[in-house]
Amino acid sequence: MPAEFPVERSETAFTDYKLPLSPAQAAVEAGRCLFCHDAPCVTACPTHIDIPQFIRKIANGNDRGAAKTIFESNILGMSCARVCPVEVLCVGACVYNDLDEPPIQIGKLQRHATDRAFDEGWRFFKAGAPTGRRVALVGGGPASLAAAHELRRLGHACTIFERRDFLGGLNTTGIAPHKLKADRSVTEAAWVLEIGGVELRTGAEIGRDVSLADLERDFDAVFVGIGLGADSRAKVPGEDLPGVLGAVDWIERMKLGDAGLAGVRRAVVVGAGNTAMDAARELLALGVPQVTTLYRGTEDAMGGYAHEWRAARVAGVRAEWRAVTTAFEGAGRLERLRCVRVDEARTPVAGSQFTLEADLALLAIGQSRLGAVLAGLKGITVESGIVRVDAHGFTGRPGWYAGGDCANGGKEVVNAAAEGMAAARAIDRALAAGGGIGRKEVPRG
């Protein structure tokens, strides 16, 4: 348990939504895998873990080999096993779905092997022979961790600059605690960095404490994995009232400390993406009796996964579809939201005004984008705050790479891991070919 988190945190009240498999269950489930040729689950996994092979190893009693196979493709395989939306990735692709038989529980099997690796202290990877090259990683989230690990395997010295005083990014501060708790994410980051040779500069924000010029001076290449920024604002009167918060901001408070729900009886979550679904379920689970989501579109158009909404609905979350808030009101703190229905073109429907009583409103309508921090570096394109990169994470400016949420606009941990790893390999190829910061050569993928 890292010193900076209190032992008693609101998130510690949560138990796992998806239960781990016992060894006997894992053996039975692994034995069901068909070991498909050119398996669709492997294609569906952004890090392309050799899923049939690791499952076969579990079936044959070789958990250690299974863990090795997983980490070989995805060093964040432990947290991904818990946080990945497997329903739309590997498990969703399992051919058993077409036989109307239950698909293989790939996430749970992955958890079986990777948890065991953590419990038993298994280690698989060594740093590569030193190349004498230095790479900076901006941000200490999943993208940078995956990139740093791969770069160390390839022998490059690494320095991570993280503005907070702990690692893991949103994996630590954002993931629903019924999937993964903050301390487990921090433990994972430390486990990844056991490969050695990664200098940690926490509390160091690029653009404030360390300049881009400093990076260009001190490093041969830079990987930017700064993720997304603060919750977007609703731009509606009254949103500065106490009791109106950003959802990601509130989730972080809940995970790292106290959720501040004393006296909260009714909460509204604005939005219908996965962050909104998580926040709504978390509020209910922490004892808020009435939780309503408010979304301008229909149920079919919601951004959140169907399986997440189903779980939220089963838990008791209510929804107002095709409605927007026009004002947050209250005497000194939030008491109600003024709302109105909208039509397909999202224009308010005359006479459809209504009011939702609420002591807490969470805005889950997206996160700001941080690409602006790179503005001014010639050759790098930032579009609506997203850093533009090619398939290997290259930005166009020699030596500069990016991946994860800041470059893909906000996806999953597993995408960040895949993009971090791909960028690390591209950096290695570029450096080997004489490219890097300040070089003319534009590396090719």
Partner 1 sequence: MADLSTQTGGIRSPNPFWLASAPPANSGAQIQRAFDAGWGGAVWKTLGTPIQNVSSRFGGHAIGNARGAGFNNIELITDRPLEVNFREIAETKKRWPHNPIIASLMVETREEWREIIKRSIDAGADGLELNFGCPHGMCERGMGSAVGQEPAVNERITSWACEFSTVPVLVKLTPNVSDIVPHGMAAKRGGAHGVSLINTIKSIIAVDIDRFVPEPRVGSLSTNGGYCGAAVKPIALHMVAALAREPGFGLPISGIGGVRNWRDAVEFMLLGSSTVQVCTEVMLRGYRVVEDMRDGLEEYMHSKGFTRVQDMVGKAVPAFSEWGDLDMNYETVARINADTCIGCQLCIAACHDGAHQCIHPQEGTRVPRIDESECVGCNLCQIVCPSPGCITMDRVDNGHPPATWNDHVNHGATLRPKKGSH
Ligand X SMILES: Cc1cc2nc3c(=O)[nH]c(=O)nc-3n(C[C@H](O)[C@H](O)[C@H](O)COP(=O)(O)OP(=O)(O)OC[C@H]3O[C@@H](n4cnc5c(N)ncnc54)[C@H](O)[C@@H]3O)c2cc1C
Cβ of residue 284: shortest distance to ligand X, in angstroms?
A: 16
Cβ of residue 21: shortest distance to ligand X, in angstroms?
A: 19
- Residues in contact with ligand X, shown as a per-residue x/- string from 175 to 204 under the rule CB under 6 A: xx--x-------------------------
Between 31 and 445, name the residue whose CB sits nearer to partner 1: 31
Contacting partner 1 within 96-115 (CB under 8 A): none
How far is it between the farthest Cα atoms of the chain? 71
Entry field: residues in the chain: 445
Q: Which of 297, 294, 293, 300 is nearest to 315 (CA)?
A: 293
Hey, CA dihedral for 45, 393, 248, 326, is it positive or negative?
negative
Is 363 an interacting residue with respect to ligand X (CB under 6 A)? Answer: no
Between 251 and 259, name the residue whose CB sits nearer to ligand X: 251
| 164 CA to centre of own chain | 16
Between 59 and 221, name the residue whose CB sits nearer to partner 1: 59
Q: Can you list the alpha helix ranges (DSSP code H) found in 84-141? A: 90-93, 106-120
Hey, CA dihedral for 138, 144, 149, 155, is it positive or negative?
negative
- Out of partner 1, ligand X, none, what residue 55 binds, judged by CB under 5 to 8 A for its kind, is none
Is 380 an interacting residue with respect to ligand X (CB under 6 A)? Answer: no
Is 116 an interacting residue with respect to partner 1 (CB under 8 A)? Answer: no
Contact 47, 421 (CB under 8 A): yes
- Out of ligand X, partner 1, none, what residue 56 binds, judged by CB under 5 to 8 A for its kind, is partner 1
- Out of partner 1, ligand X, none, what residue 399 binds, judged by CB under 5 to 8 A for its kind, is none
Between 61 and 438, name the residue whose CB sits nearer to partner 1: 61
Strand partners, 386: 383
What is the 3-state composition of the chain as percent helix, strand, coil, each rounded to the nearest 5? 40, 15, 45
Between 103 and 225, name the residue whose CB sits nearer to ligand X: 225
- Residue 227 CA to residue 138 CA, distance in Å, equals 10
β 323-329/336-341 pair status: antiparallel
The DSSP secondary structure of 63-99, one letter per residue, reads HHHHHHHHHHH-TTHHHHHHHS-TTTTHHHH-GGGGG
- Out of partner 1, ligand X, none, what residue 241 binds, judged by CB under 5 to 8 A for its kind, is none
Cβ of residue 34: shortest distance to partner 1, in angstroms?
A: 9
Contacting ligand X within 106-165 (CB under 6 A): 138-144, 161-164
Contacting partner 1 within 4-43 (CB under 8 A): 23-24, 27, 35, 37
Cβ of residue 32: shortest distance to partner 1, in angstroms?
A: 8
Is 84 an interacting residue with respect to ligand X (CB under 6 A)? Answer: yes
- Residue 31 CA to residue 27 CA, distance in Å, equals 6
Between 104 and 167, name the residue whose CB sits nearer to ligand X: 167
Which residues are CB-contacts of 129 (< 8 A; sequence separation ≥ 6)?
A: 155
Between 97 and 131, name the residue whose CB sits nearer to partner 1: 97
Between 101 and 299, name the residue whose CB sits nearer to partner 1: 101
Instruction: Name the DSSP letter for residue 263.
Output: T
Token pair of 306, please?
């169907």
Cβ of residue 98: shortest distance to partner 1, in angstroms?
A: 17
Distances in whole angstroms, Cα of residue 216 to Cα of each of 134, 139, 400: 11, 16, 9
- Residues in contact with partner 1, shown as a per-residue x/- string from 40 to 69 under the rule CB under 8 A: -------------x--xx--xxx-xx--x-
Is 77 an interacting residue with respect to ligand X (CB under 6 A)? Answer: no
- Residue 269 CA to residue 320 CA, distance in Å, equals 10
- Out of ligand X, partner 1, none, what residue 23 binds, judged by CB under 5 to 8 A for its kind, is partner 1
- Residue 441 CA to residue 392 CA, distance in Å, equals 16
Between 24 and 331, name the residue whose CB sits nearer to partner 1: 24
- Residue 364 CA to residue 279 CA, distance in Å, equals 8
Q: Is 24 exposed, middle or buried (0-12, 13-18, 19+ CB in 10 A)?
A: exposed
Between 24 and 350, name the residue whose CB sits nearer to partner 1: 24
- Out of partner 1, ligand X, none, what residue 24 binds, judged by CB under 5 to 8 A for its kind, is partner 1
- Residue 274 CA to residue 410 CA, distance in Å, equals 11
Number of chain positions touching ligand X (CB under 6 A): 42
- Residue 395 CA to residue 180 CA, distance in Å, equals 32
Between 41 and 170, name the residue whose CB sits nearer to partner 1: 41
> Which residues sit at the interface with partner 1, rule CB under 8 A?
23-24, 27, 35, 37, 53, 56-57, 60-62, 64-65, 68
> Which residues sit at the interface with ligand X, rule CB under 6 A?
83-84, 138-144, 161-164, 169-171, 174-176, 179, 205-207, 225-228, 248, 251, 274-275, 278, 370, 373, 404-406, 411-414, 416
